Amino acid sequence: MCARTQSLRYRWFRWLNAAAYVPFGAGLMLLLLLLLPPTPVDAGCRRLVQKPCEAICVRTGSINRHIVRQEFEVRGNGSTGPYGARDGWTCELRIVVIMPANTSVEASLPRVQPVLEKAEGAIRRDGIIPADVAIRWIPFDDRCEQARATVMAMDGTGSDSCGHLILGPSCDFALAPVARIARYIYNDGIPVITGAGYTFDFEEPKTHCENEFHMLIRTGLVSFKRMAFFMIELIRHFNWNRVVYFYERQSYYNVAGPQTGHLLMNTMAEFFRHENITYSPFSTDSARTNLTESLKEKVGLSHASEYYRHVKPQSATARER
């Protein structure tokens, strides 16, 4: 009994001794929280002073034109809008559309603008955005040029236009510089939404500021990467391991602008290397002879395959006839 009592006392002593540290630990944690407050979350990739025009809703006739914090209320008719939008508030969503005016490209301004108007009508009917928020489309013709598209993006987000969103560009070469600088426009960057961006670079991770195309959002389902995966599956199915890639550098201009064929070839080559597939690209633009002769020269015997035609043997009755 004495030994048991001594053991129980020892256990109680250990528990009480450990429990004595609980308030101390809690107090220490509280002190650390007070002395070391959590770091505020900043969504931007660089710190900039916000411009008054960055706000969608501002007070009408405001002298200082400060950034106005949006407050929302549910109206009697079921729609949701900025508090006081009908009483001293002005709300406008400015969307910068950067696309070529040349209709040789499928996603060009003359073809896309009617679609955007229909989309706005559907948004209004479904009440997706408050009825008091106006939408202003700001179109720019980038001519599928990199430098021009970059300047258009700067003009569309300057003090005169101060766009909240960029739609486009629809040409891959023009899209690249715009998508790169978007993370540094405004304090929080500006979203770039496009149905293009077919090259594999545009499908890389975009979750951190260090990622090249951090603010890019692709809405298209088809990309050159998916096409490359399809080709790899086809090659694996037939147990091939060598490929000659014939392409025309300026082909399919209507899809992604200049050098679409070249961009597709680069994506194919990137994933062929990952799969250890030997490939040999050949641009038909540089063919000195006709394509038939180029095919014989480039393919030759090293990339050719033999196919045997299996003839079904005739039956004995057929042979007798």
User: Could you give the residue ranges of the DSSP H alpha helices within the chain?
Assistant: 2-19, 21-35, 109-126, 146-156, 172-181, 224-237, 253-256, 260-274, 291-299, 316-320
Let me know if residue 199 belongs to a domain: yes
Let me know if residue 252 belongs to a domain: yes
Let me know if residue 321 belongs to a domain: no
> DSSP code of 88?
S
Asked whether residue 197 falls in the same domain as residue 302, the answer is no
Let me know if residue 15 belongs to a domain: no
- Exposed/middle/buried for residue 87 (C-beta within 10 Å: 0-12, 13-18, 19+): exposed
Asked whether residue 193 falls in the same domain as residue 243, the answer is no
Per the structure, the count of domains in the chain is 2
Asked whether residue 199 falls in the same domain as residue 128, the answer is yes
CA nearest neighbour of 60 among 27, 97, 85? 85
Asked whether residue 139 falls in the same domain as residue 190, the answer is yes
Supply the range of the domain harboring residue 261.
224-311
Percent of the chain whose predicted confidence (pLDDT) is above 70: 68
pLDDT of the chain, 321 residues: tens digit per residue:
444 444 444 443 444 344 433 443 444 344 334 344 444 445 568 787 878 888 888 887 653 443 333 333 333 333 333 433 456 788 899 999 999 999 999 999 999 999 999 999 999 999 888 888 899 999 999 999 999 999 999 999 988 889 999 998 999 999 999 999 999 998 888 999 998 889 888 888 888 888 989 999 998 878 888 888 999 999 889 888 888 888 888 888 888 888 888 888 888 888 888 888 888 887 777 666 677 776 777 676 565 565 555 555 555 454 444
CA nearest neighbour of 180 among 45, 42, 43? 45
Let me know if residue 29 belongs to a domain: no
Asked whether residue 260 falls in the same domain as residue 166, the answer is no
Let me know if residue 124 belongs to a domain: yes
Asked whether residue 90 falls in the same domain as residue 214, the answer is yes
The domain that holds 281 is classified in CATH as 3.40.50.2300
**Of 176, 203, 218, the domain-final residue:** 218
Terminal-residue alpha carbon distance, the chain: 112
> What's the whole-model pTM score?
0.69
- Neighbour count for residue 202 (Cβ, 10 Å): 22
Let me know if residue 47 belongs to a domain: no
